Amino acid sequence: MKKNITKLVLIFASAFLLSQLSFATAIGGSVSTATGGTGRGAIEPIDGVLLNPSSVAQIKSQFFSFTYSTEQMGITISDNGKEALFPAALAFVRTERDNLKTQDMALVLAYKIMPQLSFGTTVSLVEYVQSNNGLEDKYRQTVGDIGISFAPTKELSLGVVAYKVFSSSAELAEVLQKQKQIGLGVSYTFDTFVRFRFDVESAPENETDRLTYMGGLETYLNEWVIVRLGYQNNNVVSKNFTTAGLGFSGPQFGIHYGYLTNVANRDEDRHTVDLGIPF
């Protein structure tokens, strides 16, 4: 009973907090940001749920995470505890880019086909608010993603994600909508000391002529403190990004920081902070 009350309080608190805020371009949380944008193949409760919905079935607890950057804010509640009927998550994210604000309410459902293999889908209700000369136009759209996670060993995990597999129509220009893309990711932990992550993602409309390559690593300085480094070669926008971050992962909560920079244009520097709480 206590656990159910805690869940309800977190859900209502999250909805209230996010209803007061507005923000930016859809980006990952601090763990993904600090490791070059990777995470589609990693089982990561902090920000992996929206990168690959099937990862919910591999997370062995209930988890609350809050992400903040100057451009984006979001909250995710995932549940794959012993009392859960099935793995699921609820996310609410608002972003802002130039004159476009996006609000995304997502329901994530997953199913473990076998201990090492899981399937998941995300159904998002997306609202776009476009500002033109002081006037605002609103557009709504339903978008669906699907993902698969495979973890043959405790050291190795892989993921495949197809974004915007289905969607309702919206009068907003295609380039401003969420994009159809395919992402692949792999995560490998060596000797419990360092975890290597590598992802590749297609260009919009699943084009493979311009791919985005992402790589990163994580290593523990001690039992709780994690150092992260990464690099992203984004051929879609013809830019390269260097990333770094620091995390504290304690038994009761975790705080993580991610930094992204484009040396050619320091105006694109991005700082992201996450709070993660298992419950």
Does residue 265 form part of some domain?
no
Residue 220 lies in a domain: no
**What's the CA gap between 89 and 138, in Å, rounded?**
26
Domain that holds residue 93: 2-195
81: in domain: yes
Residue 32 lies in a domain: yes
| Residue 268 covered by a domain | no
Q: Regarding predicted confidence, which is higher, 141 or 7?
A: 141
**Higher-scoring residue by pLDDT: 174, 246:** 246
Give the Cβ contact number of residue 268 at 10 Å. 12
pLDDT of residue 151: 94
| pLDDT band (50, 70, 90) for residue 144 | very high
Q: In this predicted structure, what is the pLDDT of residue 16?
A: 36
Q: What is the pLDDT of residue 38?
A: 96
Q: What is the pTM for the complete model shown?
A: 0.85
| Three-state DSSP class for residue 262 | coil
Whole-number pLDDT of residue 86: 87
The total of structural domains in the chain comes to 1
> CA-CA distances (angstroms) from residue 41 to 34, 55, 148?
15, 8, 9
pLDDT digits (tens, 9 = 90+) for 20-35: 333 223 457 999 999 9
- Asked if residue 260 is part of any domain, the answer here is no
Decide if 243 is inside a domain: no
User: Residue 88 domain-assigned?
Assistant: yes
- Burial of 278 by CB count in 10 Å (0-12 exposed, 13-18 middle, 19+ buried)? middle
Instruction: For residue 120, give the CATH number of its domain.
Output: 2.40.160.60
